[in-house]
A and B are shown apart, each in its own frame.
Chain A
Amino acid sequence: MSFVIVQVRDLVMRLPSGGRALTILDGVTLGVSAGEVCAVTGPSGSGKSTLLGLIAGLDRPTAGSIEVAGVELTRLGEDALARFRRETLGYVFQSFHLIPSLTAAENVAVPLEIVGVPDAPARARTLLAEVGLAARAHHHPAQLSGGEQQRVALARAVALGPRLLLADEPTGNLDSATGTQIIELLLRLNRERGSTLLLVTHDEALARHAGRVLRLRDGRLLNGGAR
């Protein structure tokens, strides 16, 4: 039996909305084994992105526990969470979230520079070549197509060799042909690095690439997610 890298228990997330508390996640329990490719699907507003964000430690749950790579996230402070993220995971967003003032290469170099990798620029260029963008290294995000921007974001997400890759609707802003290329690239990068991929999508075709599909509706998992 393989090692469980993500263990979420009884996760509840409520957010204030118009003076009332809106329940986004309602008692979610799930486990993801190391090396697994797992997809979470559900209609929009079902709480998928919030679940992924909580696993990345981007926000604090109302109740429940989240253990990633043996670390209980709910006990960490903000800066410890930042450290945890750079040591453990890579994150791919639906809308890419590249830093507009930086070139493609500089965007990829940012995580490397934060931890002080000595040859960050060279490593960033290698990573860009790996995603097929060697020629676009000096372009700014505004000069790149959506697909190209997402490739840069992928290169940035895997730059520090994370054990866990989180992808939030990575093809949501792309046409289907480009989306297919991106998902293939994502799966390849994940496979080559032996990392774990947790993918959020509402696209059933994309979900079929995953070894296991969890369905979320109204903040609850329909099929058991526990490991």
Chain B
Amino acid sequence: MIGTPARFALRMAWRETRGAWRHFVAFFLCVALGVAALVSVGTLAANLDATLGREARALTGGDLELRSAQPLGADAERALDGLRREGAATAVVSELAGMARNPARGSSLLVELKAVDAGYPLYGHVETSPAAPLGVLLAGRAGAAGALVAPELLERLGLGVGDALLLGGGRFTIAGILRREPDRATGFVTLGPRVLLAAPALATTGLLQTGSRVRYRTLVRLPEGASPRAGLERLARLVADPSVRVTAYDAAQPGLRRFFGQLASYLGLVGLASLLVGGIGVAASVATFVRRQLPTIAVLKCLGASRRLLVLTYLVQMLGLAIAGSLAGAAAGVLVQPALIRALAPFAPFALVPALDGATVVRGVLMGTLAALLCALWPLLAVAAVPPSLILRSDVEAGGWQARRPWAAALPIVAGLAALALWQAGSPRLGAIFVGASLAALVLLAALARAVVAVAHRLPRPRGLAWRHGLAGLRRPGGHAARVIVALGLGVMLLVAIALLEGNLGRQVALERKHEAPSFFFIDVQGDQRAAFGRLLAERAGTAPPLTPVVRARVGAINGVPVTRELIDRRTAQAPDKVWYLTREYVLTQAEEPPSANRITRGRWWTREDATRRARVSMEEEAARYLGVDVGGTLTFDVQGVPVDAEVMSLRKVDWQSLSMNFFAILSPGALDAAPATYIATARVPAAAETGLQDSVVAAFPNVTAVPLRAVLERVARVLDQIAFAVRFMALFSIAAGLTVMAGALAATRYQRLYESVILRTLGATRGAVARAFAVEYACLGAAAGLGGTALAAVLAWVVLRFVLDVPWALEPDTLAWGVAGTTMLALGVGFLGTFRLLGRKPLPVLRRE
């Protein structure tokens, strides 16, 4: 049984909404857009998470995985034998990059090779066309082993199923098309199309040579009922070599999880920004509504309604509208899933199916409802302060009464909104940054709006009617200028910031802009191929590039302390995304002179005497910081079982974006003389000559891998494009919310405009002249929002590039100009749509109504 006040509030709320639903379209849309943004991202994130959890075994390829840069040692094999005796199944997968060639045409292509043994796959299945058992397809026919290739390879090399294919020095038959691998390792950017072959056939390619970069993965499927955790601990205990990474399926794919987690969390913040912009629309809409309701509120007070009853009534009304808007938004958020999934599908190594996640929908509706209520509260509290004596004045005009600002409520409202932001962001740090940035943007845009209104007020009165009335229009009572500038400005800020980030990142991956970057990296040149390779390059590229010796090694000890599994586990727990500094294979080289693009930040480069006395190393500063070594310390590199001790003599800052040959660790001359080295070289040739050079190098040296930088960068650019699409998609919600706020503000001033236009026309102004006056007002609003939003976007983009992505910042004048011009046009467009009908109204009926 509900009490009298609640019953009255419910009844009045319903009647008021019924009578004024048009007024609440903007309110409803603002809430709906914000919630749609949040629910679309949330649903996607939940979907990804559920799929990752469900497919974890297939994604890992087994219950356990052992990953190493060298084939497993005897201790590991013994441990695996033990497991096999207990009923476990194993499969070995080797992954490396290599060159594929069309033997008929000689065209070549960098590919990602994956060699699997008979046990593969342990979980999931490999999708091929034709669909046939993997063993049959890979066995091949007519003396050549079979290879399954990605469709892209057939297209690029002009080959078809059944044709011959050269991989390194081995000849294969294309047995079918590789559609999907359950455990495809997910580097988001692949070097080239995927090729699957049988493990024994890999040896025929000649690609497994000293110094080749191979990833060995041994997959284990435990017998029914065995605990993966126990299996993991046992393997970790028995496998001494710390460079062998042992993981269980539930902790695998950490990179993928982190990537999706971060993407969802950033997209969620963009969604939250839409809700924030929508919140301005909600507050504006409620403020306008309260102004319109002043006579009703005064009458109700006259009839004996208490302040509390009235605030309750309007709160109930806003609650109902907020819930309705949130539900509609949630439905829209679920409906746009297919579009978002299409954008992100290329990253996901599994099929994503649009699915409804109840918790996300509930959370979105709750978030939308609470945010809308909090935003509505500020203008609603004015209801309490409306004096009933307002009714006695003959003109209960909206402009006549000014409510006191309920400042006491401001803090709880802001705190409530901040709490919602923290909830959405999921991390206090991210949430705090979001809240801080939003508050700063709000305050700055509001200050800008005030300044614009003040300047319009102080300017000498322009002579033309359009300018005079247009500028006067900015000072309309009700503060519509501030609302439009703040809301639209926020939306523009997001969209322009994204465009700036895209532009700057795009610059990073555009080869044409990298004047120093080579066209190719040639890797795995063997010692005995050096002379012939140099001759070929001199002939085809004009110059014989220097060949740099490289040796693969891992860090065996730091300052004499061995890198053990315990140390790695401990550091993983501290900073999982940086532990690769400790576990990775380093490519070492030795040099007499420091690379020109590097800057020594500590210590000094070695002299010839320094180098002859003992082995020295110059480390990249970030790596040194993580490893915990400084100038004077020692690093022990494990070069295929042989320890090489080197004293750290200098730290370097490396510009990785230069895309030239860069190294984490450079040793002093002589330090690596005894180690088995391969050679790498770079070449820069005109774009038109790239294919020819690659084909001739690969034909002459099938084991040499040519990494074409242009193609790799294009792949990176494609990935960036897809991410940008998803982010832009979310930002569009904020722009839509911003425009809704503007449309709402126009609707709120509609009667005033109508009256003005009628008066002006009665006094002899043409419709064109009135339209121009309105156009000046809209253009000023749009330009101010555009300028403010664009300026803030530049700051936001600079902060992200400088502090998050560590990418040099370049002002993109085109984007900035578009931000201002586009917003102005948009404001003119929306303004025109909102007012052109007013111009057609006959003056007399309007004046008579006055």
Assembled-state Cα–Cα distance A140/B7 (Å): 22
Chain B interface: which of A107-115, A179-187, A202-210, A213-221?
A107-115
Known: A101-B16, A101-B19, A113-B7. A59 touches B387 (CB 8 A): yes
CB distance from A137 to the nearest CB of B (A): 14
B305 on the interface (CB 8 Å rule)? yes
Question: Which residues does chain B contribute within 8 Å of A100, judged by CB atoms?
Answer: 19, 296
Nearest opposing residue in chain B for A98, CB measure: B299
A171 on the interface (CB 8 Å rule)? no
User: Interface 1/0s, chain A 48-91, versus B by CB < 8 A?
Assistant: 01100100101100000000000000000011011111110001
Assembled-state Cα–Cα distance A95/B393 (Å): 11
Does the CB pair A53–B15 fall under 8 Å? no
Nearest opposing residue in chain B for A94, CB measure: B394
Assembled-state Cα–Cα distance A82/B302 (Å): 7
B427 on the interface (CB 8 Å rule)? no
Assembled-state Cα–Cα distance A95/B389 (Å): 14
Does the CB pair B304–A115 fall under 8 Å? yes
CB distance from B502 to the nearest CB of A (A): 48
Does the CB pair A116–B306 fall under 8 Å? no
Does the CB pair A114–B308 fall under 8 Å? no
Assembled-state Cα–Cα distance A79/B304 (Å): 8
B194 on the interface (CB 8 Å rule)? no
Assembled-state Cα–Cα distance A110/B12 (Å): 9
Assembled-state Cα–Cα distance A93/B303 (Å): 12
Docked complex: A96-127 residues within 8 A CB-CB of B: 97-102, 106, 110-111, 113-116
Residue in contact with A114 in the complex, picked from B16, B18, B19, B309, CB distance below 8 Å: B309
Assembled-state Cα–Cα distance A106/B3 (Å): 19
Question: Which residues does chain B contribute within 8 Å of A111, judged by CB atoms?
Answer: 303-304
Known: A82-B304, A102-B15, A113-B8. A97 touches B299 (CB 8 A): yes
B574 on the interface (CB 8 Å rule)? no
A156 on the interface (CB 8 Å rule)? yes
Residue in contact with B4 in the complex, picked from A87, A116, A140, CB distance below 8 Å: A116
Assembled-state Cα–Cα distance A59/B305 (Å): 15
B763 on the interface (CB 8 Å rule)? no
Does the CB pair A93–B304 fall under 8 Å? no
B411 on the interface (CB 8 Å rule)? no
B761 on the interface (CB 8 Å rule)? no
Does the CB pair A79–B308 fall under 8 Å? yes
Known: A102-B15, A116-B7. A79 touches B389 (CB 8 A): no
Does the CB pair B388–A58 fall under 8 Å? yes
Does the CB pair B304–A102 fall under 8 Å? no
Q: Which of B302, B305, B391 has the most CB of A within 10 A?
A: B302
Does the CB pair A101–B392 fall under 8 Å? no
Does the CB pair B392–A49 fall under 8 Å? yes
Residue in contact with B20 in the complex, picked from A58, A81, A97, A101, CB distance below 8 Å: A101
Residue in contact with A53 in the complex, picked from B7, B18, B304, B392, CB distance below 8 Å: B392
Assembled-state Cα–Cα distance A176/B11 (Å): 37
CB distance from A16 to the nearest CB of B (A): 14
Question: Which residues does chain A contribute within 8 Å of B307, judged by CB atoms?
Answer: 78-79, 82
Question: Which residues does chain A contribute within 8 Å of B544, judged by CB atoms?
Answer: none
B300 on the interface (CB 8 Å rule)? yes
Docked complex: B304-319 residues within 8 A CB-CB of A: 304-309
Assembled-state Cα–Cα distance A104/B305 (Å): 19
Does the CB pair B19–A115 fall under 8 Å? no
Does the CB pair B305–A82 fall under 8 Å? yes
Assembled-state Cα–Cα distance A53/B390 (Å): 10
Known: A53-B389, A101-B16, A110-B300. A82 touches B306 (CB 8 A): yes
Does the CB pair B305–A114 fall under 8 Å? yes
Assembled-state Cα–Cα distance A155/B394 (Å): 22
B103 on the interface (CB 8 Å rule)? no
Assembled-state Cα–Cα distance A159/B392 (Å): 21
Nearest opposing residue in chain A for B18, CB measure: A101
Question: Which residues does chain A contribute within 8 Å of B306, judged by CB atoms?
Answer: 78-79, 82-83
Assembled-state Cα–Cα distance A98/B19 (Å): 14
Assembled-state Cα–Cα distance A91/B4 (Å): 23
Nearest opposing residue in chain A for B17, CB measure: A101
Nearest opposing residue in chain B for A50, CB measure: B392
CB distance from B355 to the nearest CB of A (A): 42
Docked complex: B1-39 residues within 8 A CB-CB of A: 3-4, 7-8, 11-12, 15-16, 18-20
Assembled-state Cα–Cα distance A23/B49 (Å): 73
Question: Which residues does chain A contribute within 8 Å of B299, judged by CB atoms?
Answer: 97-99
B552 on the interface (CB 8 Å rule)? no
Assembled-state Cα–Cα distance A49/B18 (Å): 33
Residue in contact with B15 in the complex, picked from A81, A83, A106, A114, CB distance below 8 Å: A106
Question: Which residues does chain B contribute within 8 Å of A85, judged by CB atoms?
Answer: 302-304
Does the CB pair B4–A59 fall under 8 Å? no
Q: Which of B299, B304, B308, B391 has the most CB of A within 10 A?
A: B304
Assembled-state Cα–Cα distance A99/B16 (Å): 9
Does the CB pair A87–B392 fall under 8 Å? no
User: Interface 1/0s, chain B 391-434, versus A by CB < 8 A?
Assistant: 11010000000000000000000000000000000000000000
Assembled-state Cα–Cα distance A95/B299 (Å): 12
Does the CB pair B8–A58 fall under 8 Å? no
Question: Which residues does chain A contribute within 8 Å of B16, judged by CB atoms?
Answer: 101
Question: Which residues does chain B contribute within 8 Å of A115, judged by CB atoms?
Answer: 4, 304
Question: Which residues does chain A contribute within 8 Å of B3, judged by CB atoms?
Answer: 116
B301 on the interface (CB 8 Å rule)? yes
Does the CB pair B303–A86 fall under 8 Å? yes
B643 on the interface (CB 8 Å rule)? no
Residue in contact with B392 in the complex, picked from A58, A81, A98, A102, CB distance below 8 Å: A58
Question: Which residues does chain A contribute within 8 Å of B392, judged by CB atoms?
Answer: 49-50, 53, 58-59, 168
User: Interface 1/0s, chain B 278-301, versus A by CB < 8 A?
Assistant: 000000000000000001101111
CB distance from B426 to the nearest CB of A (A): 43
CB distance from B305 to the nearest CB of A (A): 5
CB distance from A155 to the nearest CB of B (A): 13
Question: Which residues does chain A contribute within 8 Å of B298, judged by CB atoms?
Answer: 97
CB distance from A106 to the nearest CB of B (A): 6
Assembled-state Cα–Cα distance A58/B387 (Å): 8
Question: Which residues does chain B contribute within 8 Å of A101, judged by CB atoms?
Answer: 15-16, 18-20, 296
Does the CB pair A93–B391 fall under 8 Å? yes
CB distance from B711 to the nearest CB of A (A): 66
Question: Which residues does chain B contribute within 8 Å of A53, judged by CB atoms?
Answer: 389, 391-392
Assembled-state Cα–Cα distance A50/B7 (Å): 34
CB distance from A105 to the nearest CB of B (A): 11
Docked complex: A154-191 residues within 8 A CB-CB of B: 156, 168
CB distance from B715 to the nearest CB of A (A): 61
Assembled-state Cα–Cα distance A99/B309 (Å): 17
User: Interface 1/0s, chain A 15-29, versus B by CB < 8 A?
Assistant: 000000000000000
Question: Which residues does chain A contribute within 8 Å of B20, judged by CB atoms?
Answer: 101
Nearest opposing residue in chain B for A101, CB measure: B19
Nearest opposing residue in chain A for B300, CB measure: A110
Does the CB pair B389–A114 fall under 8 Å? no
User: Interface 1/0s, chain B 194-223, versus A by CB < 8 A?
Assistant: 000000000000000000000000000000
Does the CB pair B304–A83 fall under 8 Å? yes
10 extra interchain contacts, Cβ-Cβ under 8 A, other than A99-B299, A115-B304? A53-B389, A58-B387, A78-B306, A81-B388, A98-B299, A99-B296, A113-B11, A114-B303, A114-B305, A116-B3
In the complex, 18 of the A-B residue pairs with CB atoms within 8 angstroms, ordered by the A residue number, are A56-B302, A58-B391, A59-B387, A78-B306, A81-B388, A82-B304, A82-B307, A97-B295, A101-B18, A101-B296, A102-B19, A111-B304, A113-B12, A114-B8, A114-B303, A114-B304, A116-B3, A116-B8
| 5 nearest A-B pairs in the assembled complex, by CB-CB distance | A86-B304, A101-B19, A116-B4, A59-B389, A79-B306
